[in-house]
Amino acid sequence: MLQKIKSITLPHLIGMALLGGGWFLTVLSVGIDRFTPKLFTTGTIVGLAMILLGAYLPETWAAIRSMRSK
């Protein structure tokens, strides 16, 4: 039972950490580069990639785990 809770909670915690870190990185990058003419910088691209990865990680993790158990 505890193993099942860990296997469900871990991907969600990692996803939330990626979402929060990506959001923080994007906001920080936009705040630092506020007066530059470039809209997309390396920091914003990495932050947005972290947000997307964190959003889809739990579902992908669960799909891979269910495919491996069959």
Q: Structural domain tally of the chain?
A: 1
Give the residue-averaged pLDDT of 29-39: 78
Whether 55 has a pLDDT exceeding 90, the answer reads yes
Q: Which two tokens stand for residue 57?
A: 């990680």
Residue 22: what pLDDT?
A: 95
Are the C-beta atoms of 54 and 19 separated by less than 8 Å? Answer: yes
Percent of the chain with pLDDT over 70: 100
Range of the domain at 60: 19-69
Mean pLDDT, the chain, whole residue set: 88
Cα 41 from Cα 65, distance rounded (Å) = 35
Q: What is the dihedral angle through the alpha carbons of 19, 52, 44, 39, rounded to the nearest 10 degrees?
A: -130
In a domain, 6, yes or no: no
In a domain, 10, yes or no: no
In a domain, 58, yes or no: yes
Cα 21 from Cα 23, distance rounded (Å) = 5
